[in-house]
């Protein structure tokens, strides 16, 4: 015995018994004979000893999936580790080290300001993402099963487990000797009916035993199980999402723009203009600090975090926040059928029941089928039939059960022997049509008709269940009884959810094409598609080869690109043409105030697009470059008017600023701050900005930021920042100047989009504005296409010609008629109420001949 134990321990000490041997599929425990499975696992039908189990627990690990957890500190630091942050960090180092020259000390003010800006942005991003993660975790805990569970985490390969009715199988296992069991694998495969498993078959983690009792030997646990491997692959996937690619692309564009500006400025300032070292460094800092949209990653992450929180309030779990952005650009939605579009519960379609006995009605066929079903410990079919009764107790009402014959894979039927209230003996059986037909005395006469009905059900994806009965004159459970009489055939179907059809139509209205993917038979898929209004144009796989948040993100990215171009181009022109040096500290103040305002875009009332909205980088860059160039030229024009003309002094009676560099810097600071922040109202709107009211939070942030900027320009005199107070009169002139040049920004935005897509005027009237009451100008065309795609195959060629040559009004009429036909057809099928159908037809003014000759698919 000791030698055996030593051998087992020796084998356990070999790593091949653990991860390499089984994880690398070197030993296929799923297909080996059971005796070889026991041999490979060094176990027996008696199971493992406590010491063996402890050894294997150390080797294989606990039977649970390890949740991937992030280090909070590293998560916080990650917000400072991106290309945009690197540039700001380089600017901080430059302010501390490179600026230490020209008989002046380090620029501590700029250094501390840059560091504070980085830390504040990182803190905001970290808090919002952490809150979103906590909301998702809280929702998952609320949705978790509230059941008492035993600790199955100590299971190891080689253990023997007992599986009974209702048990959730805790690990991948091979069944030992015993009667067949039924296992529900719908969570893994999507199959709504339980699967029969026999001795030697494999059962998977997470499946549920629906019938029977048997023992099994564990062959895989934890992440080595079938379900564990799939979950581990999902968790270990580290694919860079489209959102991060776009963010990187925009960041690279901004960085490249700054690099080009710095190179041009350095070439012009030092070799050409022979500027001093410290002035040159200050101008470079202006480009680095002002040109980098350091708040853009924070704004986008905060926007996604808020979207994740909103989704959690609606009952949706967001495991990866970038999924919200990707969902906003989705135009094709692939849906699972079982449990998603359907209820994952079989039901009987009463309207389609085929009765074969003249003495019976459909209700009686259902009642007899319910009597041949279990009232306790029901399988899916029994439950579907019992649920057809008004009260489940009717299945045993007024009868006395004598004997119940349970389902088995050989006979493929159930049967009950009972006494009715008059003392008469009957036997009822339900099961596979061919098995029930073989019992009937007149099977030769009705076989063809039965097969026709079964085939008709199968064409529509319905499973057939036959019901028959016999009298027992001998009044004995063992007697063969009288002739069997076929009562009828019941169609079984997994019905759609009550809201699936409406949800699909709403998705179509939003421009999303819904595709159904299922492992069920093609006929079942077509029937489900027909009932959901998805059409029946389906094929086997062998023959095939968050918008609101998105709009807030788009506004932030266009704004970021515009500000980068505006800062780089504007200050390069000022430094190159007039050798003007703007103080870096004031650029830092502008960046801080702008970041505080741009943060609120994440909670702004941006109107979401009604169509799938993808990242259009060409449009983002083009719009940002054009508007940034415009703003830069506006600033250059303002500087020229202040320093080279007397326009403002003549028309507004203000004191001249010529020769006073500090006052000019204050005026430039206020002009840049006002027009830069006002730009956010243009980028957030799809049409004219003054027609789309922003949220109160954004308005308040803008007012507070610009009030601070105005007070600084009016009253502040700061020597190290090189600014001096300019008074209220100049502040009013600057606000008026900015307002005048703000108005063309909307026209520039629309013009750029029109040039790029030709649809800018549609964007102008995309919402309910003063010019139009239409919600979606493309909805009529989309409805017409949706309707025409569901026409009969024989009419498809004509439909294509009609679509290409029809007018918008005719397409609207086609769409409306198609919807009316679909509504009438559904009423007729569901209720078979001719009067109701005719009343709807009269209401919609649709000819009944149209319904018969132009069926929708």
Helix (H) / strand (E) containing 155: none
Q: Quick one: 719 exposed, middle or buried, by C-beta within 10 A (0-12, 13-18, 19+)?
A: exposed
- Residues 6+ away with beta carbon under 8 Å from 21: 15, 27
List b or e across 660-691, with b for residues whose CB sees 16 or more CB atoms inside 10 angstroms: eebbbbbbbbbbbbbbbbbbbbbbbbbbbbee
CA–CA distance, 827 with 502 (Å, rounded to integer): 15
DSSP lists the bridge partners of residue 202 as 174
- Taking the CB of residue 302, how many other CB atoms lie within 10 A of it? 26
103 conformational bin, left if phi > 0, alpha if psi -120 to 50, beta if neither? left
Angle between helices 808-831 and 779-789 (to 10 degrees): 50
CA–CA distance, 379 with 393 (Å, rounded to integer): 17
Q: What is the 3-state secondary structure (H, E, C) of 610-666?
A: CCCCCCCHHHHHHHHHHHHHHHHHHHHHHHHHHHHCCHHHHHHCCCCCCCCHHHHHH
* Residues 35/199, Cβ–Cβ less than 8 Å: no
Nearest C-alpha neighbor of 684 from the set 773, 551, 567, 846: 551
Name the maximum alpha-carbon separation found in the chain: 123
Helix (H) / strand (E) containing 174: strand 172-175
CA–CA distance, 657 with 620 (Å, rounded to integer): 38
DSSP string across 516-529: EE-SS-HHHHHHHH
- Residues 6+ away with beta carbon under 8 Å from 3: none
Active site residues: 336
* Residues 380/193, Cβ–Cβ less than 8 Å: yes
* Residues 558/683, Cβ–Cβ less than 8 Å: yes
CA–CA distance, 847 with 835 (Å, rounded to integer): 15
CA 444 and chain centroid, separation:
55
Residues in the chain: 857
SS3 428: strand
Nearest C-alpha neighbor of 612 from the set 558, 551, 556: 551
């Amino acid at each position: 015995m000791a030698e055996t134990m030593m051998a087992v321990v020796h084998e356990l000490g070999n790593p091949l018994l653990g991860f390499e041997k089984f994880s690398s599929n070197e030993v296929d425990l799923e297909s080996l004979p059971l005796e070889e499975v026991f041999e490979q696992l060094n176990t027996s039908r008696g199971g493992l000893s406590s010491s063996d189990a402890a050894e294997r627990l150390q080797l294989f690990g606990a039977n649970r999936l390890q949740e991937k957890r992030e280090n909070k500190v590293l998560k916080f630091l990650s917000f400072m580790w991106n290309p945009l942050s690197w540039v700001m960090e380089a600017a901080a180092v430059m302010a501390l080290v490179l600026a230490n020259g020209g008989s002046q000390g380090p620029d501590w003010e700029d250094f501390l300001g840059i560091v504070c800006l980085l830390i504040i942005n990182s803190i905001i991003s970290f808090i919002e993402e952490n809150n979103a993660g906590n909301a998702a975790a809280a929702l998952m805990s609320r949705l978790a099963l509230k059941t008492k569970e035993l600790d199955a985490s100590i299971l190891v390969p080689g253990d023997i487990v007992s599986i009974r009715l209702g048990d959730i199988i805790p690990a991948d296992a091979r069944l030992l000797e015993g009667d067949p069991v039924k296992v529900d694998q719908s969570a893994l495969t999507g199959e709504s009916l339980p699967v029969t498993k026999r001795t030697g078959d494999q059962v998977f983690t997470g499946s549920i035993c629906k019938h029977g009792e048997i023992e099994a030997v564990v062959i895989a646990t934890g992440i080595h199980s079938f379900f564990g491997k799939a979950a581990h692959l999902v968790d270990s996937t580290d694919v860079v999402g489209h959102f991060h690619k776009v963010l990187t692309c925009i960041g690279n564009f901004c960085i490249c723009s700054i690099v080009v500006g710095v190179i041009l400025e350095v070439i012009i300032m030092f070799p050409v203009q022979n500027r001093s070292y410290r002035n040159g460094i200050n101008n470079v800092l202006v480009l680095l600090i002002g040109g980098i949209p350091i708040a853009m990653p924070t704004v986008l992450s905060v926007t996604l975090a808020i979207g994740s929180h909103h989704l959690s309030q609606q009952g949706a779990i967001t495991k990866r926040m970038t999924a919200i952005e990707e969902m906003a650009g989705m135009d094709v939605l692939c849906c699972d059928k079982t449990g998603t579009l359907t209820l994952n519960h079989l039901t009987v379609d009463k309207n389609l029941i085929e009765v074969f006995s003249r003495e019976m009605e459909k209700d009686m066929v259902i009642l007899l089928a319910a009597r041949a079903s279990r009232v306790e410990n029901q399988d899916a079919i029994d439950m579907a039939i019992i649920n057809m009764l008004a009260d489940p107790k009717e299945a045993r009402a007024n009868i006395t059960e004598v004997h119940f014959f349970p389902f088995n894979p050989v006979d493929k039927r159930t049967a009950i022997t009972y006494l009715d209230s008059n003392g008469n003996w009957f036997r009822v059986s339900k099961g596979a049509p061919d098995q029930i037909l073989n019992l009937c005395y007149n099977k030769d006469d009705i076989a063809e008709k039965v097969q026709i009905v079964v085939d008709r059900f199968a064409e529509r994806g319905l499973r057939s269940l036959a019901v028959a009965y016999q009298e027992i004159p001998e009044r004995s459970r063992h007697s063969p009884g009288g002739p069997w009489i076929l009562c009828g055939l019941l169609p079984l179907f997994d019905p759609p959810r009550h809201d699936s059809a409406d949800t699909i139509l709403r998705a179509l209205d939003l421009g999303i094409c819904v595709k159904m993917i299922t492992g069920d038979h093609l006929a079942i898929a077509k029937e489900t598609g027909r009932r959901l209004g998805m059409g029946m144009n389906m094929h086997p796989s062998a023959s095939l080869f968050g918008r609101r948040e998105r709009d807030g993100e788009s506004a932030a990215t266009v704004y970021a690109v515009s500000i980068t171009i505006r800062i780089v181009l504007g200050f390069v022109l000022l430094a190159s043409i007039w050798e003007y040096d703007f103080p870096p500290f004031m650029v830092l103040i502008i960046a801080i105030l702008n970041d505080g305002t741009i943060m609120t875009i994440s909670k702004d009332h941006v109107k979401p697009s009604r169509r799938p909205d993808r990242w259009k980088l060409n449009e983002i860059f083009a719009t940002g470059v054009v508007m940034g160039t415009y703003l830069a030229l506006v600033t250059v024009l303002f500087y020229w008017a202040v320093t080279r003309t007397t326009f403002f002094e003549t028309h507004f009676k203000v004191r001249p600023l010529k020769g006073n560099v500090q006052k000019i810097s204050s005026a430039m600071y206020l002009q840049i701050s006002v027009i830069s922040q006002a730009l956010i109202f243009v980028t957030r709107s799809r049409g004219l900005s003054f027609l789309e009211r922003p949220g109160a939070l954004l308005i308040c942030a803008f007012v507070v930021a610009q009030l601070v900027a105005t007070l600084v320009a009016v009253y502040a005199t700061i020597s190290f920042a090189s600014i001096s107070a300019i008074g209220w009169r100049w502040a009013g002139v600057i606000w008026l100047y900015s307002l005048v040049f703000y108005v063309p920004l909307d026209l520039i935005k629309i013009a750029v989009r029109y040039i790029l897509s030709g649809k800018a005027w549609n964007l102008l009237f995309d919402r309910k504005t003063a010019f139009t009451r239409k919600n979606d100008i493309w909805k009529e065309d989309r409805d017409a296409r949706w309707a025409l795609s569901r026409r009969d195959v024989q009419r498809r060629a004509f439909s294509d010609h009609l679509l290409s040559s029809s007018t918008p009004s005719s397409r609207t009429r086609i769409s409306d008629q198609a919807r009316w036909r679909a509504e009438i057809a559904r009423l007729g099928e569901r209720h078979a109420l001719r009067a109701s159908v005719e009343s709807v037809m009269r209401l919609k003014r649709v000819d009944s001949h149209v319904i018969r000759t132009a069926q929708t698919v």
